[in-house]
Amino acid sequence: MNKYTTRATIEGTSFFDTFISVNKEGKKRLGIRFYRWLSVILIHVVFILSYWVDLQVLEGTLSGSRFLGFHLIDPFMTLQVFAAHHQIPINLAIGTITIVIVYLLIGGRAYCSWVCPYTILGEISEKWHQTLVHKKIIKERFFDYKIKYIFWSIFLVLAFFTGFLVFETFNIVGILSRALIYGYSLALLFVVAVFLMDIFFSQRAWCRYVCPVGTTYSFIGWPSATKVVWDDRCDHCRVCSDVCLVPHVLEITKKNANVENKKTVSIISGDCTLCGRCIEVCHTDALNYETKLKKLI
């Protein structure tokens, strides 16, 4: 895909075009999206090999695992355990702190686009959703993204009053992760239901409005060292918002956005998943990754 000659909206671009991008000199290279998919697939291949051939590198699932012996725990899982049992076992605390530190460095919701297996299904669903909308078979439906805070609270309150990790029954990350590593289970039917909701009801509805795992990572993302940064080469075409999972974070690209004559602005919202899709479609190169990691090192 050549972003300099194409307005690369989801609906107007072929699904696989965006795995390859073309730079200003016209040279083809693998796109950020290719590396994201590769990251998701490789993580799960290592999980699978660790279980099936005893590789012992990455054991468990995305909800709770051990990487070379170090515990890694999904922070929302830990919050649920605390709500349900009013204590956090030491291994859970260590695993959660490790994860929080990692994502403070690389960007909180980077988990959603570089690790979570549903991201691949989500991108397939949004392509089909946009095609159906274009053919006027279904309607676009948008909701207030802040609904996700209500779901986040509900699942913690449920854990508190029931003593069970209620969300884990619906956690499509855990269900998919377990299915890929240990094999099929009936719980996959819920993932299918979410996939169909995303296609026929509202684009990326689960990730945008429901998933408390992503919401928890967004709290980590807000102060993180890695961001997407916008600069004033932008001509406000808004193609970036079309491809973005969380378009509210790109309000800065609106013509009337209040940027106080700044030349560059970091996207400070923790909702940004650092997927890089906006960078890959911006024909003025006004969006780029920026990280303070180099300074920290």
Cβ-based nearer residue to ligand SF4, 162 or 264: 264
Report the 10 Å Cβ neighbour count for 88.
15
The answer to whether 31 contacts ligand SF4 (rule: CB under 6 A) is no
CB of 22 to ligand SF4, least distance (A): 16
CA 217 to chain centre: 9
The answer to whether 249 contacts ligand SF4 (rule: CB under 6 A) is yes
Find where tokens 């919202």 sit.
269
Name residues contacting ligand SF4, limited to 267-286 (CB under 6 A). Answer: 267, 272-278, 281-282, 284, 286
Rounded-to-10 torsion of CA 159, 162, 165, 168: -100
How far is the C-alpha of 250 from the C-alpha of 240, rounded, in Å? 8
How many helices (DSSP H) and strands (DSSP E) are in the chain? Answer: 13, 8
Q: Which of 1, 100, 172, 234 binds ligand SF4 (CB under 6 A)?
A: 234
Q: How many residues bind ligand SF4 (CB under 6 A)?
A: 29
The answer to whether 10 contacts ligand SF4 (rule: CB under 6 A) is no
The answer to whether 245 contacts ligand SF4 (rule: CB under 6 A) is yes
Q: Are 150 and 215 within 8 A, CB to CB?
A: no
Report the 10 Å Cβ neighbour count for 228.
24
Cβ-based nearer residue to ligand SF4, 119 or 177: 119
- Closest to 225 measured CA to CA, from 291, 156, 155: 291
Q: Which of 225, 237, 259, 265 binds ligand SF4 (CB under 6 A)?
A: 237
Cβ neighbours of residue 186 closer than 8 Å, sequence gap 6 or more: none
Name residues contacting ligand SF4, limited to 153-212 (CB under 6 A). Answer: none
Cβ-based nearer residue to ligand SF4, 75 or 247: 247
User: What Å distances lie between residue 280 and 55, 87, 216, 259, CA to CA?
Assistant: 35, 44, 26, 23
The answer to whether 246 contacts ligand SF4 (rule: CB under 6 A) is yes
The answer to whether 228 contacts ligand SF4 (rule: CB under 6 A) is yes
Q: Which of 235, 262, 268, 291 binds ligand SF4 (CB under 6 A)?
A: 235
Q: What is the contact surface with ligand SF4 in residues (CB under 6 A)? A: 228, 230, 234-240, 243-246, 249-250, 253, 267, 272-278, 281-282, 284, 286-287
